[in-house]
């Protein structure tokens, strides 16, 4: 089967083989931090120092990790396939880009960007951020926040994602537990809107596994290159 428009949703599991913690695995991020304290606007308002430390630690960790074979395989698919390939990632790391992917949407934002709350300006940021960091726009300390989507906040580019889901003929979900909406609802949206083939590639069946026409379980660094080889044959 030759596909024309491929949408690939990725989650923390695709970065696991690079040494980046997932969220809901036994020793994952949410076993170390309370998501209500570090991944909600209310938590940030209550204790911005804790939230800045949480993102500073994860942002600094990006310097210690590299893309794995799964990221590289998806970049190869974009480069070598005749299809239009769009990566929609829930991840806030930059590993897809560092592997060479260019057509990508970070629906939950990016750790290497911050946003000024005075005027919504988004700027690249590679070092620590604190409540004392002066905002380049208004000069006020405490104005800058991580450019990531917290619980209760609207994910980015939802209109563009909705169109891509309606128009794709292949939807692949890689390395996500299917716990967090609206991303977890994408496979149902694809099934309702068209005739796309749907594939789940994960370490283990996700919450929504029964909604996928095809599944492949194993570590993404092994399963994704095999899947891409098949697509490019
Ligand atoms: C929204 C911040 C609506 C960025 C994250 C009550 C109050 C408020 C909201 C809600 C509520 N009840 C429900 C909601 C909606 C909520 C939600 O879905 N909650 C769930 C938990 C019930 N969603 C939201 O709030 C979203 N916004 O709904 O807005 C709205 C409408 C109008 C107006 C305004 C708003 C926002 C969701 C984004 C939250 N941000 N984090 C950051 O710091 O990273 S959540 C966090 O979960 C990350 O973003 C992460 O990307 C996301 C999904 O997690 P996964 O990527 O799936 O990771 P997980 O660890 O769960 O799974 C990893 C998988 O990989 C596992 O299956 C594992 O088996 C597999 N794996 C492991 N190793 C490997 C592997 N696979 C392959 N190879 C391996 N080696």
pTM over 0.85: yes
Distance from C-alpha of 180 to C-alpha of 170, rounded to nearest angstrom: 21
Distance from C-alpha of 104 to C-alpha of 85, rounded to nearest angstrom: 9
The one catalytic residue among 106, 108, 147, 195: 108
Question: Residue 222: CB within 6 Å of ligand 1?
Answer: no
Question: Residue 21: CB within 6 Å of ligand 1?
Answer: no
First to last CA, the chain: 10
State yes or no: pLDDT of 1 exceeds 90.
no
- How crowded is residue 230: how many other Cβ atoms within 10 Å of its Cβ? 10
108 annotated active-site: yes
Q: Which pLDDT score, from 0 to 100, does residue 194 have?
A: 76
pLDDT tens digits for range 113-168: 999 999 999 999 999 999 999 999 999 999 999 999 999 999 999 999 999 999 99
- How crowded is residue 19: how many other Cβ atoms within 10 Å of its Cβ? 11
Question: Residue 171: CB within 6 Å of ligand 1?
Answer: no
pLDDT tens digits for range 160-209: 999 999 999 999 999 999 999 999 999 999 999 878 999 999 999 999 99
């Amino acid at each position: 089967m030759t596909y024309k428009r491929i949408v690939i949703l990725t989650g923390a599991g695709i970065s696991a083989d690079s040494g980046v913690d997932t969220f809901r695995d036994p020793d994952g991020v949410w076993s170390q931090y309370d998501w209500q304290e570090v991944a909600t606007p209310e938590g940030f308002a209550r204790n911005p120092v804790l939230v800045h430390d949480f993102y500073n630690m994860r942002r600094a960790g990006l310097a210690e990790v590299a893309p794995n074979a799964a990221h590289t395989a998806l970049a190869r698919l974009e480069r070598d396939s005749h299809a239009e390939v769009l990566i929609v990632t829930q991840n806030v790391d930059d590993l897809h880009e560092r592997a060479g992917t260019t057509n990508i949407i970070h629906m939950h934002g990016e750790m290497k960007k911050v946003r000024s709350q005075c005027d919504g300006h988004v700027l690249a940021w590679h070092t620590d951020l604190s409540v004392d960091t002066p905002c380049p726009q208004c000069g006020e300390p405490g104005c800058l926040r991580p450019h990531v989507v917290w619980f209760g906040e609207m994910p980015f580019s939802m209109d563009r994602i909705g169109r891509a889901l309606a128009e794709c003929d292949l939807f692949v979900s890689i390395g996500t537990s299917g716990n967090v909406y609206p991303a977890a609802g994408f496979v149902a949206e694809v099934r309702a809107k068209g005739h796309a083939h749907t594939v789940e590639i994960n370490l283990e069946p996700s919450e929504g596994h029964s909604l996928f026409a095809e599944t492949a379980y194993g570590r993404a660094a092994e399963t994704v290159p095999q899947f891409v080889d098949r697509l490019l044959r």
